[in-house]
Amino acid sequence: MSHELNQLRKFVSPEIIFGAGSRHNVGNYAKTFGARKVLVVSDPGVVAAGWAGDVEASLQAQGIAYCLYTKVSPNPRVEEVMEGAELYRSEGCNVIVAVGGGSPMDCAKGIGIVVAHGRSILEFEGVDTIRVPSPPLILIPTTAGTSADVSQFVIISNQQERMKFSIVSKAVVPDVSLIDPETTLSMDPFLSACTGIDAMVHAIEAFVSTGHGPLTDPHALEAMRLINGNLVQMIANPGDIALREKIMLGSMQAGLAFSNAILGAVHAMSHSLGGYLDLPHGLCNAVLVEHVVAFNYSAAPERFKVIAETLGIDCRGLNHAQIRQRLVEHLIAFKHAMGFRETLSLHGVSTSDIPFLSSHAMDDPCILTNPRESTQRDVEVVYGEAL
């Protein structure tokens, strides 16, 4: 890409506080934003695990009023965002804190957009549609993977249309991200695998995306190294906080990379699939990843070779066809080691669903930065391979 060296690059990120126990600082940050009353967005599982209670205790210690909103589905929905915004207004809140995985964090970002504009969240689909700054937003991720806490993305489910839509804007990068590996102790093995593979796919897609550059590449490569080297071990040793820290750091690095380089066809297809079947996002990524890598390899062979080397594959003396094969095999083995053996047909997808899924994948902003130009027919073929 030497001819592009003079391109301007921008890199956005929240203020990040990383480390065990950082969640307990939420009260101080809310206070610096002049919080009168905080809307705390979470979900029932996170409340049960006690993480929302830690946030409440920290706010109480600073004498800050709050109300709790937990009506968030695993794929957050339009009406949940709108109901949260209504609560924010009726309670007179002026700061938003989310504690949870990607879903409460995306829901909180959506609530911020709605309260700032006073319009439906559906009106903000697409890239750079946001005109008014959201209220101060503090995010505390409790999974190691989605990186909603550092990204310019909001993904919301429209259940009426059976589709997910994306909002991409630097206006949804939170003000503060409190990244606390201790919160991931409550993830079950399946959630650890889902969010971990999501982070790995973030790093791979960001590294080969047409939006990659010198500011994003080191983050993507370090993320791959950390996740590839520690994820399977973390799932096997759930109490090991050192492993959790490495995966949380890898996930954060992947988030910084993809938020700025954007993603590719795995995510475009995964958003379409997750909206259609209401499946966990990481599971959708896992089903698709090696098929998309095989499809994209020829468009960026040197960069895929660097990925293969970063994942520990010895590429000496191999041609690109062999490296591509090894990389695909490695990704399949990595998935299997975490217990993913899914195909699309296992989840009830049939050939007749593929045109619908493909047309929505083609409308996703992530398809625009995929390294290989894709037609709807290409996407249909890749979905077909994943059946």
At 163-195, the pLDDT tens digits run 999 999 999 999 999 999 999 999 999 999 999
What residue ranges do the domains of the chain occupy?
15-184, 187-386
pLDDT of residue 5: 52
For residue 7, what pLDDT band results from cuts at 50, 70 and 90?
confident
Percent share of the chain, pLDDT over 70: 98
pLDDT of residue 217: 98
pLDDT of 369 > 60? The answer is yes
**How many Cα atoms are found within 13 Å in the side-chain-facing hemisphere of 163?**
18
305 — phi, psi (to 5°)? -65, -40
Report the CATH superfamily, name and number, of domain 187-386. Answer: Dehydroquinate synthase-like - alpha domain (1.20.1090.10)
pLDDT of residue 357: 98
pLDDT of residue 2: 42
At 329-346, the pLDDT tens digits run 999 999 999 999 989 999
182 — phi, psi (to 5°)? -60, -30
Distance of CA 248 to the CA centre of its chain: 13
Give the number of other CB atoms < 10 A from CB of residue 117.
17
Average pLDDT score over residue span 116-140: 97
> In whole angstroms, what is the distance from residue 96 CA to residue 138 CA?
6
pLDDT of 382 > 90? The answer is yes
At 222-277, the pLDDT tens digits run 999 999 999 999 999 999 999 999 999 999 999 999 999 999 999 999 999 999 99
Higher pLDDT, 8 or 335: 335
Q: Which of 266, 226, 214 is nearest to 386 (CA)?
A: 266
Q: What is the DSSP string of 190-254?
A: HHHHHHHHHHHHHHHHHHHSTT--TTTHHHHHHHHHHHHHHHHHHHH-TT-HHHHHHHHHHHHHH
As a whole number, the mean pLDDT across the chain is: 97
The residue ranges of DSSP E strands in 13-87, in sequence order, are 15-18, 37-41, 65-69
- In 3-state terms the chain splits into helix, strand, coil percentages (rounded to 5) of 60, 10, 30
For residue 6, what pLDDT band results from cuts at 50, 70 and 90?
low
At 156-165, the pLDDT tens digits run 999 999 999 9
Give the number of other CB atoms < 10 A from CB of residue 97.
33
Q: CA-CA distances (angstroms) from residue 1 to 211, 266, 300, 344?
A: 11, 23, 10, 35
For residue 3, what pLDDT band results from cuts at 50, 70 and 90?
very low
Q: Do the beta carbons of residue 116 and residue 90 sit within 8 Å? A: no
For residue 1, what pLDDT band results from cuts at 50, 70 and 90?
very low
Q: CA-CA distances (angstroms) from residue 158 to 231, 325, 352, 373?
A: 32, 37, 21, 27
Please, what CATH class does the domain formed by 15-184 belong to?
Answer: alpha beta
pLDDT of 202 > 80? The answer is yes
pLDDT of residue 282: 97
> In whole angstroms, what is the distance from residue 182 CA to residue 277 CA?
31
- Which pair of structure tokens corresponds to residue 316? 């000496």
